[in-house]
Amino acid sequence: MNLLNTVTVDEAKNKIKDVFSDVKLKEEKVHLLEAVNRYLSQDIVAPIHVPGFHRSTVDGYAVIARDTFGSSENIPSFLRYRGKIEMGMEATEFIGSGECYYVPTGGMLPMGCDAVVMVEYTEVLGREICIQKPVSPWENILKKGEDLRQKDLLFKKGHRLRPQDIGMLAGLGIIDIPVYEKLSVSIISTGDELVPPTKKLNLGQIHDMNTYSLSAAAEADGCCIIERVIIEDEKEGLQSKIEECIAHSHIILISGGSSAGDKDYTKEVMDRIGMPGAFIHGISVKPGKPTIVGKVKGRAIFGLPGQPVSALIVYKILVSSWIKETLYGAEVIHPSIEGTISVNIPSAPGREHYVMVSIKEEAGQTIIDPIYGKSGMLSMMAKAQGYIKIHTNTEGILKGDSVRAFLL
Amino acid sequence: MNLLNTVTVDEAKNKIKDVFSDVKLKEEKVHLLEAVNRYLSQDIVAPIHVPGFHRSTVDGYAVIARDTFGSSENIPSFLRYRGKIEMGMEATEFIGSGECYYVPTGGMLPMGCDAVVMVEYTEVLGREICIQKPVSPWENILKKGEDLRQKDLLFKKGHRLRPQDIGMLAGLGIIDIPVYEKLSVSIISTGDELVPPTKKLNLGQIHDMNTYSLSAAAEADGCCIIERVIIEDEKEGLQSKIEECIAHSHIILISGGSSAGDKDYTKEVMDRIGMPGAFIHGISVKPGKPTIVGKVKGRAIFGLPGQPVSALIVYKILVSSWIKETLYGAEVIHPSIEGTISVNIPSAPGREHYVMVSIKEEAGQTIIDPIYGKSGMLSMMAKAQGYIKIHTNTEGILKGDSVRAFLL
């Protein structure tokens, strides 16, 4: 049995960044309605001034501000009513001293006006409008280009488009959105004991979980799953499957066979296919120590542990963050929640330790409970709402400590 | 101009729950690979014991624990090697006193054994295995049904399936997943000034944003968008469009026309179509006060403000939470991040106040900055990474206060 030559999580992350710094993603254009959750491949700048005209932010009367100075409920000003600006129409009217036009919220202002008095502070008296409150110049007006000037940067390259961003782009009339191609991912589960969930189990067999959980996780990160396959622990089969996947995948995830046991072929096969082969074997993290990262024919191959919980944790901390932050170049805020840990959690220094947790609200406090279980227990995954990270250089955390749980 | 008869956000939420307590969602079955982000319509219980057999959690030797008692590196025990259990095969072997079998991680245990010694604490000496460390009974074994017993509850009805849950279900061999139908949502933007983003603007016009941002938001919540349409501020058009949408939508979102101005027809039209019509008009929230909620022919109609930021906030606090928590019955953890607010934010008591914020990390601290802008500025939406909530009964928050920003 060979020993693993472990690196820290941060070393692994940096090495992965370096080794794959030559990966360039293609761009494509997608329709706005297909663009949510895609990553921008170009900066988006405003193609037009927004608003494109001086616009009222209230329902009221467009006026010349100085005509209202000094007015009050007791001593109102009186302005001649010249008419109504219609929503959506160009206002070609010109306002003179002592005059006003009714203008709805969002309506274009007539020329010459420099403020809008809210309808609440006015009264209609025949052909005159009685103004009961003064307005300052430019009050209740959104000026042309005040929201966005043409060429203002709106979204940076790499930004992942959220629902509200789709609205923004619509507002700017941008319909064809430049995004990065979806990364192609192939997922291989290795193990003689694995059978697909569609088949009945014999004794000694288990249903494959990892192609399912990993493909759903990679899809959530904006990848496209090319292949999902179970293969036996057998060198030739693994090699030909990897070679097949290399042809059409940016990333290949292999679960199982990543340790240093006598049936753990992933590293050997990776090295055999091409240079540089495996460049990381073993990460000082719990769970997830037996992890392999390699580069073969320009493609990234991750050998993840076979245990479903470990495979998912390593995917999250190593693969997912690399995909989103480096390959797509997104700024990621990892959703998390602060809470109080309910028990002591000891941890051996010298490795990062990830603990699955459940989260509950109790008397206005957020309580975070670790979920324990034996290696490979899948019920842990169902119960876990998140995980906490115990840093390399600590001996654990104490009951009552404030911790941040990252949501799963 | 009519005044709104406002209710608090909580009152509105409770009223919506009550009025629509008769809404029943249909169930459907989807394939596991299509089930991510869907909401379960039934509890899921384990159909089988997991594992289905006593399983080793390590690579090592299956033994009778008492045969190892007292062994150490200096005084090891010697056990007769009987052979190797193959992964994925039923172990029909029987272990006798003084004997052992090699068993890989995940392998089935031979009958009669009650512990596994990790390979690290053994040495092979011809046909004998030298055991250098004792094991307790059931050490390194996951017993049949120890992870999950048949009929154990795995996921509650209403649970929204995450990537890892898809893996779990695969592990249990559950392929046809009972989920709630997707709620059908139609979205109507009203306003004479609105043109679709595909068209060039004339002066006075703006591009419609709300059908885009609201449909992307509703899709993210697990809804299916039936219709997206812009219509003019005109009673008959609005009425016939709503009537058309009622036929095939659970929920109709109408943005614009929700206030009490002379072109705000949403409430009147709702009331005209059927009973009970609008039952909420005005919510004490900023932004979002001019909000209407009605029930017509059993369908839910929300009249949201026309301002994109307000429309989205009201969607989030009123519609999205009702959809997820009540209609689908999910337990929702709203992703959030704790941080320190960078400035004082005054707020008028008597209403809930939602402020868009950006979030940054600075010297290890999370700093939350409010984003200000005039009503209707769309650039605010691009900059906002989240929002904070200032409660009804406070006069604001102070610089340096710890606040929770909910991610957008």
- Torsion, Cα A308 A311 A315 A317, to 10 degrees, reads 110
Is A350 domain-assigned? yes
CA distance A208 to chain B (A): 6
- What is the pLDDT at residue B3? 63
Domain boundary pick from B292, B307, B327: B327
Q: How far apart are CA A397 and CA A310, in angstroms?
A: 21
- What is the pLDDT at residue A381? 86
Is B364 domain-assigned? yes
**Contact flag A306-B105 (C-beta cutoff 8 Å):** yes
CA count, 13 A, side-chain hemisphere, A69: 8
**Contact flag B217-A164 (C-beta cutoff 8 Å):** yes
| Statement to judge: residues B189 and B175 lie in one domain | no
Number of domains in chain B: 4
- What is the pLDDT at residue B338? 85
CA distance B275 to chain A (A): 30
Chain A CB contacts of B90 below 8 Å: 202-204
| Statement to judge: residues A323 and A296 lie in one domain | yes
| Statement to judge: residues A166 and A203 lie in one domain | no
Residues making up chain B, counted from first to last: 408
- At residue B2, does pLDDT exceed 90? no
| Statement to judge: residues A253 and A310 lie in one domain | yes
Residue of B nearest to A199 (CA): B173
Query: Across chain B, what does the average pLDDT equal?
Result: 94
Q: How far apart are CA A293 and CA B4, in angstroms?
A: 62
Query: Residues B70, B134: contact at Cβ < 8 Å?
Result: yes
Interchain CB contact of B214 with A (< 8 Å): yes
| Statement to judge: residues A92 and A189 lie in one domain | no
**Contact flag B197-A169 (C-beta cutoff 8 Å):** yes
Which residue range is the domain that position A391 belongs to? Answer: 336-407
**Contact flag A172-B207 (C-beta cutoff 8 Å):** yes
**Contact flag B201-A173 (C-beta cutoff 8 Å):** yes
Strand partners, A80: A99, A128
The helix, strand and coil proportions of chain A, stated in percent and rounded to the nearest 5, come to 20, 35, 45
- What is the pLDDT at residue A376? 75
Q: Is this prediction's ipTM beyond 0.90?
A: yes
For A140, other C-beta atoms within 10 Å of its C-beta total: 24
Is A2 domain-assigned? no
CA distance B318 to chain A (A): 16
| Statement to judge: residues A188 and A137 lie in one domain | no
What is the CATH number for A372? 2.40.340.10
| Statement to judge: residues A217 and A84 lie in one domain | no
Strand partners, B60: B103, B118
| Statement to judge: residues B376 and B323 lie in one domain | no
| Statement to judge: residues A217 and A302 lie in one domain | yes
Domain boundary pick from B300, B327, B354: B327
| Statement to judge: residues A273 and A403 lie in one domain | no
Strand order in the sheet with B223-231: B223-231, B183-190, B251-255, B299-304, B292-296, B276-281
Q: How far apart are CA A231 and CA A236, in angstroms?
A: 11
3-class DSSP assignment, residue A264: coil
- Strands (DSSP E) contained in A236-373 are 251-255, 276-281, 285-286, 292-296, 299-304, 336-341, 345-346, 352-362, 365-370
For B201, other C-beta atoms within 10 Å of its C-beta total: 17
pLDDT tier at B345 (50, 70, 90 boundaries)?
very high
Alpha-carbon separation of residue A195 from A200, A217, A227, B59, B71 (angstroms): 8, 21, 16, 21, 38
- At residue B1, does pLDDT exceed 50? no
Is B1 domain-assigned? no
Nearest CA to A376 out of B214, B142, B320 is that of B142
What is the CATH number for A215? 3.40.980.10
Q: What's the 3-state SS for A134-183? A: CCCCCCCEECCCCCECCCCEEECCCCECCHHHHHHHHHCCCCEEEEECCE
Query: Residues B167, A212: contact at Cβ < 8 Å?
Result: yes
Is A1 domain-assigned? no
Higher pLDDT, A333 or B34: B34
What is the CATH number for B171? 3.90.105.10
Q: How far apart are CA A190 and CA A210, in angstroms?
A: 10
Cis peptide before A287 (omega within 30 of 0): yes
Query: Residues A277, A271: contact at Cβ < 8 Å?
Result: yes
Residues making up chain A, counted from first to last: 408
Point out the residue among B120, B167, B207 whose CB comes nearest to the CB of A212: B167
**Contact flag B201-A172 (C-beta cutoff 8 Å):** no
Query: Residues A185, A251: contact at Cβ < 8 Å?
Result: yes
Is B136 domain-assigned? yes
Q: How far apart are CA A317 and CA A13, in angstroms?
A: 9
For B276, other C-beta atoms within 10 Å of its C-beta total: 11
Is A286 domain-assigned? yes
- What is the pLDDT at residue A3? 62
pLDDT in tens, A63-87: 999 999 999 999 999 999 999 999 9
pLDDT in tens, B45-59: 999 999 999 999 999
Interchain CB contact of B30 with A (< 8 Å): no
Query: Residues A95, A80: contact at Cβ < 8 Å?
Result: no
Q: How far apart are CA B266 and CA B235, in angstroms?
A: 8
List, in order, residues 6 or more apart from A323 with CB less than 8 Å away.
A183, A218, A221, A222, A223, A251
| Statement to judge: residues B211 and B82 lie in one domain | no
**Contact flag A170-B207 (C-beta cutoff 8 Å):** yes
Residue of B nearest to A338 (CA): B338
| Statement to judge: residues B35 and B160 lie in one domain | yes
Interchain CB contact of A145 with B (< 8 Å): no
Q: How far apart are CA B188 and CA A259, in angstroms?
A: 56
Residues lower than pLDDT 50 in chain A: 1-2
H or E segment and range at residue B29: strand B27-31
Is A230 domain-assigned? yes
Domain boundary pick from A270, A293, A327: A327
Tokens of B400: 């340096």
Mutate to test the interface with A, among B212, B263, B304 (most CBs of A within 10 A): B212
- What is the pLDDT at residue A1? 41
Chain A CB contacts of B384 below 8 Å: 164
Q: Which of residues 168-207 of B touch A (CB under 8 A)?
A: 168-175, 191-194, 197-207
What is the CATH number for B129? 2.170.190.11
pLDDT in tens, B376-396: 788 888 899 999 999 988 889
**Alpha carbon B41 to chain centroid, angstroms:** 15
* For chain B, percent of residues with pLDDT exceeding 70: 99
